[in-house]
Each structure stands twice: as C-alpha cells, then as structure tokens.
A and B are shown apart, each in its own frame.
Chain A
C-alpha cells in the first residue's frame, strides 16, 4: 500500500500544473501504471488538482477507458464493433461470460481473467477479433473461443 502511494505521488509529480485540463492525462497515467484506478488514486488526484473526489470519479466513470477493478492475469479484450458483431461477437461474448462467470469490466475471483469489451479494435477485415495480453486471435468462432480460454487456463496451471 505504501508502495502504491509512492507510485501515485510520482505520477502526480509529472503534472506540476494545477489545471483542470490535466485531469484526463493524469487519470490515463494512473490507468497505464496500475491497469485500473483505485479509490486512493482518485482521492489523491482530487486533492492534487483541488477538485472534489466526486467530480473526479464522475468524470472517470463517464469514459470507457477507465476501469475500477484490478486487471486479471490474462486481460481479455473482445471487439464488438459492427463488423465483429455481424460475425457473431455477441455469441462470443455470452460464451466468454459463461465460461469465466464474469461480465464486461469485471475480473474473475481468482484474479486469472478480466474481460473488456471494446467498441472497435480496428481490424474489421479479420472479424471476430479477441486480444489476450497483447496476443491477437482473429476470425474466431464460439468453439475456438472455448479452446483459447481453456488453453490459457492450462498455461497458468489452473
């Protein structure tokens, strides 16, 4: 915890100007560093910029980029853009939710997987697309999704 505070302070130090328009870059820096935005980070940012915590939290929840729970060991990003949706991303999503027993933006209780649905990954020619820790899987079907997730489970030895 002490370590986290030091890391947050280090990020705050990078933004010496106390200006409202530093708020989003600050939140992004925290998100990049920790993978999520903790309560502690929100209150530190609030006091750094002299903004109420509620305003900071309100802004952070407005945007899709910010998440508020720690990421899993494997961070699964599923594309649900129009092209992927037409190739069956909706079915893939419900399959992943069923397999991992989590919803969009959540992390499994063992901390192994977290799920994020993105509006478009940008590879509409290869739909449907899923990304796990920077590794891309393209043109996947429901059956393949099951195999991929099980493979990751096996790799982690659980």
Chain B
C-alpha cells in the first residue's frame, strides 16, 4: 500500500495525460480493464445479500477450489437492478465483462463451466460492459443497448456495481480524488462555494434548496468551529438510492464530503447513517480507514495545512430525523425533535455552531462538478434544475431498482420506458412519489417533466425520489391508510397538529377499510362525515405544523382525494374495495361444486354466518359475515373464495 501511495497521489494529481506507458498499464490493471486472471464480481450490497449473494459467493469459492482454477473474486455494489439480484459479473482476460442476473448458488457451476469454455449461457444474461481494449463477446448485447441502461444518464451512479467499493486504488485509477486535490490546491474556501453556486446544484433530499447558497451562509458566519453533516438517514421506506450509493461507491461520497467541508471551512464532518445500514456502515468505515492511511484525512492533508476528520454516527432510527434540525438534536444526544427555523442550522446548528446538512446524493454529485466544471453540470437537466436525479422504483412491477435520469425527464419515461412498466395483463393505476408524505400521481399526470417547480405547480412533490408503482390490484385507500399509520407512529409528538392530526386521519381512513362490526360502529354516514373532515384536517395540518413531516403528512390524502375520490366513495357507500386489497371488505362465498359439506367452516366461523346441512354445500350469510377469512383458511377443498 505504502509503495503505491506516491503513484496513486500522482494519478489523482495529474490524471492519465502525464503518465508513462508503464504507469498507464498499471492504471488499467487497477481499473480492472486489463486483468491477468479471470475476475468474478458478486453484488454484496443489501439487496444482493437478501437474494442470497453470500451463498453464491461461497459456491464460487468452492468452485475455484474444486476445479483448482485461479480466479479473483471481488465484491461490488448494486448495478441498480435490485430485482435481478444476485447479480454476478464475470470477466476473462482480454474480454469484456458480462453481467448475469439471479445467479443463486446452484447456478454457479454451470455458469462458470460454460464461460471457461468460452460459451455464453443462454439464460440469465443481462449484457456485456464495453470498455476500450477488450474483445467483446459475440451474440451478447451491450449494456448500452438495453433500454434500462440506454435511456439513463448515469453521473453519480456511473461506477456503482462495476467497481469494488473496498478498493481505493480502483477509485483513484478511475479519476477519483482529482476533484478533492484540485479543491485544496487551487481554490479558496469561497471559490468552491461560488463554483457550486454557479453549477446550480440543489439539495436532493426533497426541498431543492441551492447547495451553494446554504454553504455561503455557513461560510460567512464567523465561528471557532463549523460542522458538515452528511444526512444518510434515508428513512423513507421504499427508497434505497442513498444506501446503494454508499454501498456501491463510498469513496465518491467521502470525496464529496471532503470538498463540502473544505468549502465551508469546517474541520469536522459527521455521517449520520441509519443503524440498519450495516453493509453501508462496513464499507464507509473501511473507506475512511483507507483515506487515513493515504493521508487524505487527518491533520495537514498533503501539506496543504487543511485538517479534516470524518466520523460515522449511527442514527437510532426515527423518520423525523431526516429533517435537519431533528437530525442535529439527535446528534447532540437529545430526542430527534425539530425546532423552529430561523435560526437555520447554517448559522446555528450542531452545538450552536454553523452546520451544513446535505444528503448523500447531493454530496456524491460534488466530485463530478469540481472535476468537469459547473458548465458541464449545467448542460445536464433543465435550466432551473441542472443535473440528474436518482429514483428508486419498486412496488407492483416485475423489475425494481434505481434509475438515474436528467432532471426534467417524465414519469412515463422512468416507469414505462426504462423500467418496462407493470406486469403483463396488469394496468398501471398510479405512482406514489416521495415516500410516506409524498403524493399519488395518477396516470394522466405521468407525462409531467420532473423538476421541483413543475411538480409543485401540480400540487405534487419529489421528496426523496422514491417511486412506488401501483397497479389495478393495489388499493389507494389502503395504501394511504398505511402511510398515515406510519406517519402517526413516526410523528415526534412535539406539535399538536401533526401528533393528533395523523392519528385522526389514520382512524378515519381505517374506518373506510373495515365493515361496521355492530350498530354503534361507524355507519356509512359517519364515514362520509369523516371524508369531509379529512379535507379540513389536511388544511389545518399544512398550515400549523412545525416541520416538514407534519406539513407534508396530509399530501397522500389530499392528492388521492383529488384524483381517486371515486375509490374512496366505493369504499364508503358500497363497502367494497375495487382491488380486493382491503381484506376486511372482501365478500366471501362458497363454491357449491367444490363444497363437500364437511361443516368445518361453520364450526369455526366466529359470527355464525355459515349455515347448511352436513354433506350438502354450505352457504355464507353476507349480513352476518365479518370478513375474517377463517373459513377460507380452514377449508380443505378450496371451496371458499372472495370477490
């Protein structure tokens, strides 16, 4: 490592233009463009591990031992296609790398057998990665020819799933840390702020506030100590872009943090990360250790006189800690409760000192901006919103994963063209954008160009960029109820509109998804009144809540009342869920042809709603049925069904 240090720093300093041919060859070896022995890379990020990549890893190790083949086995991050995990890529010397999907442990021997005999298997092939100086495989499509990759513009995610997140050398050989060295050697603090301001980079965590302006405010405030905090709390369930960035390319984030900390003149940076992100924590810790060894962190970095320490803080888990003042409170060892702004954290934050809070995606954009300049960045996306945005797409569609597109791309392109839309025979109903306090986007609004302003105009928000796809089998009311219950649990309880409002909303929505159990329970009229009250409640919460959580909490209710009112009405008046997802609203029937009259359902029915005589088909009295579904579970002849 120490012997390489001079070479790596030279690389970061000058870039490939001033290298000798011998050094160029070494760079290509580090970048894994030229390799000496077969290379197998396994996606060991969270989604890979859940899909079984650790067993795949062991199977590959075993394979190499059994066949006594000398191969390099390396970890990598997710390439973005999380539904295709475990993704394995294989590269033979001189050839391009091929990516394979769903390689579980039992598929390993046949896959590697084929490849070592220069045969590409027919199944599970995603495509090959074309890089210069490599011979490509015949009859294997290039990654760039696949709609999923072709329509994306990957700047931040460029190396995710391709490089080894534990290899500092590979990151530097690919141009890493040139931006940081340029920053500390050629720019003053305020010049970096100005540069990022010029680039028009806006915070990617939802608000869309200009990053440069935020920095300037912190830079201008005189203080003995300033802090930079990287918000890696990503508490939105169903969003995984920050996690993937940290697991796929931790050095890029650390370089971004170093640049941002330098710009505001801070010597202390914290990464506030969710404690559940064990794999991301492992990678970042290893990366910080690497940087310390290389002298890129610590005191007097590369004789520039600039000191920087980065430490990791594990967030104990609270949705509200995504809000910057709550996050700072949590860092200080208090309950994660937001406080009123102003004073903004950029003038008085952690321990009363100027603090800048930026999220992972924002910071990961910085190395590129410094390296290629603000004009390059302005050339991507729209005029008001330059750059790209990463969206995580999951829910009711066959493919799930991350998509990085220029700002201003339409939802239609993201979901239908890139991700291939919903499954065959299904119909797209809506997109839920921006996490629990996000908005439901109906199919009619799918062609809106996604920028902060455009969405705001339509009464929608981008939030973190999580998109959950809903098809005709998902119920709008039930999903909104789920969000509201989640928000109610996550409300910090400081201000009343949010604490009580989310609770009442969850209760009202819950009453729509249940049948009245007895006369005293909510009648149709009561439910209807509840529907009317939802709108008033939403307005009050929006106007009077302290922080973004409470102000945005009514978003799913407001947007669905606007676009999916008929679905609410069907739940209230007909006591029917059009997509059959509200289990308690299902109507149960017994198939006369299948029922043998064994009477077990009648005996188990808690409301005595099933009548009949033994050895003759039974019958469910709809007025008595409470929809618990026990008859369905106990029936051995699958005679019970619902509609």
B-chain residues with CB within 8 Å of residue A65 when the two chains form the complex: 275, 316-317
**Contact between B276 and A118 (Cβ–Cβ < 8 Å)?**
yes
**Contact between B335 and A58 (Cβ–Cβ < 8 Å)?**
yes
**B237 contact from A22, A62, A119, A131, Cβ within 8 A:** A119
**Contact between A21 and B333 (Cβ–Cβ < 8 Å)?**
yes
B51 close to A (CB within 8 Å): yes
A125 close to B (CB within 8 Å): yes
User: Which of B186-194, B216-224, B394-402 makes up part of the contact surface?
Assistant: B394-402
Task: Give Cα A27 to B316, complex, Å.
Answer: 9
Interface residues on A, range: 35 or more
Task: Give Cα A120 to B319, complex, Å.
Answer: 11
A122 close to B (CB within 8 Å): yes
Task: Give Cα A120 to B209, complex, Å.
Answer: 27
Cβ distance B579 to chain A, nearest Cβ, rounded Å: 11
**Contact between A82 and B238 (Cβ–Cβ < 8 Å)?**
yes
Task: Give Cα A62 to B494, complex, Å.
Answer: 12
Known contacts A83-B238, A129-B50, A138-B51: A124-B318 contact under CB 8 Å: no
User: Which of A84-92, A106-114, A150-158 makes up part of the contact surface?
Assistant: A84-92
Task: Give Cα A66 to B336, complex, Å.
Answer: 14
A-facing residues in B43-89 (Cβ within 8 Å): 46-47, 49-52, 81-85
Known contacts A63-B336, A138-B50: A120-B237 contact under CB 8 Å: yes
B528 close to A (CB within 8 Å): no
**Contact between B333 and A24 (Cβ–Cβ < 8 Å)?**
yes
A-chain residues with CB within 8 Å of residue B424 when the two chains form the complex: none
- What 0/1 readout, one digit per residue, does chain A (114-141) give for beta carbons within 8 Å of chain B? 0000111111111101010000101000
**A86 contact from B313, B333, B335, B470, Cβ within 8 A:** B470
B-chain residues with CB within 8 Å of residue A23 when the two chains form the complex: 333
A-facing residues in B421-468 (Cβ within 8 Å): 432, 435-436, 466, 468
- What 0/1 readout, one digit per residue, does chain B (323-338) give for beta carbons within 8 Å of chain A? 0000000111111100
**Contact between B50 and A59 (Cβ–Cβ < 8 Å)?**
no
**B395 contact from A28, A86, A122, A138, Cβ within 8 A:** A86
A14 close to B (CB within 8 Å): no
Task: Give Cα A124 to B47, complex, Å.
Answer: 8
B7 close to A (CB within 8 Å): no
A13 close to B (CB within 8 Å): no
Cβ distance A22 to chain B, nearest Cβ, rounded Å: 7
A-chain residues with CB within 8 Å of residue B335 when the two chains form the complex: 58-59, 62
B171 close to A (CB within 8 Å): no
A-chain residues with CB within 8 Å of residue B331 when the two chains form the complex: 21
**B474 contact from A20, A81, A86, A90, Cβ within 8 A:** A86
A-chain residues with CB within 8 Å of residue B182 when the two chains form the complex: none
Cβ distance A67 to chain B, nearest Cβ, rounded Å: 11
Task: Give Cα A131 to B401, complex, Å.
Answer: 21
Residue of B nearest to A21 (CB): B333
**Contact between A83 and B394 (Cβ–Cβ < 8 Å)?**
yes
A-chain residues with CB within 8 Å of residue B85 when the two chains form the complex: 123, 125-126
**Contact between A121 and B316 (Cβ–Cβ < 8 Å)?**
no
A-chain residues with CB within 8 Å of residue B225 when the two chains form the complex: none
Known contacts A65-B316, A82-B394, A83-B468: A123-B47 contact under CB 8 Å: yes
A-chain residues with CB within 8 Å of residue B330 when the two chains form the complex: 24
Interface residues on B, range: 35 or more
Residue of A nearest to B48 (CB): A123
B-chain residues with CB within 8 Å of residue A138 when the two chains form the complex: 50-51
B-chain residues with CB within 8 Å of residue A122 when the two chains form the complex: 46-47, 50, 240, 243, 276-277
**A25 contact from B83, B313, B468, Cβ within 8 A:** B313
Task: Give Cα A126 to B401, complex, Å.
Answer: 10
A54 close to B (CB within 8 Å): no
**Contact between B50 and A82 (Cβ–Cβ < 8 Å)?**
no
Task: Give Cα A121 to B239, complex, Å.
Answer: 10
**Contact between B317 and A124 (Cβ–Cβ < 8 Å)?**
no
Known contacts A86-B479, A119-B486: A28-B50 contact under CB 8 Å: no
**Contact between B432 and A82 (Cβ–Cβ < 8 Å)?**
yes
Task: Give Cα A32 to B52, complex, Å.
Answer: 25
Residue of A nearest to B393 (CB): A124
Task: Give Cα A131 to B51, complex, Å.
Answer: 11
B-chain residues with CB within 8 Å of residue A136 when the two chains form the complex: 49-52
B492 close to A (CB within 8 Å): yes
B-chain residues with CB within 8 Å of residue A83 when the two chains form the complex: 237-238, 394-395, 400, 468
**Contact between B333 and A63 (Cβ–Cβ < 8 Å)?**
no
Instruction: Identify the 8 closest CB pairs spanning chains A and B, nearest first.
Output: A125-B82, A82-B238, A81-B237, A125-B83, A124-B394, A125-B400, A63-B316, A64-B317
Task: Please give the residue numbers on chain B whose beta carbons come within 8 Å of chain A beta carbons, in ascending order.
Answer: 46-47, 49-52, 81-85, 235-240, 243, 275-277, 313-314, 316-319, 330-336, 392, 394-396, 399-401, 432, 435-436, 466, 468, 470, 474, 479, 482-483, 486, 492, 583
A-B contact pairs, 29 of them (CB 8 A): A21-B333, A22-B333, A25-B314, A27-B316, A28-B314, A59-B335, A62-B318, A63-B336, A64-B318, A65-B316, A66-B316, A80-B237, A82-B466, A83-B238, A86-B396, A86-B479, A119-B237, A120-B238, A121-B276, A122-B276, A123-B46, A123-B85, A124-B394, A125-B51, A125-B394, A125-B399, A136-B49, A136-B51, A138-B51
Given contacts A82-B394, A83-B395, 8 further A-B contacts (CB under 8 A): A20-B333, A59-B333, A59-B334, A82-B479, A83-B237, A83-B394, A123-B46, A125-B84
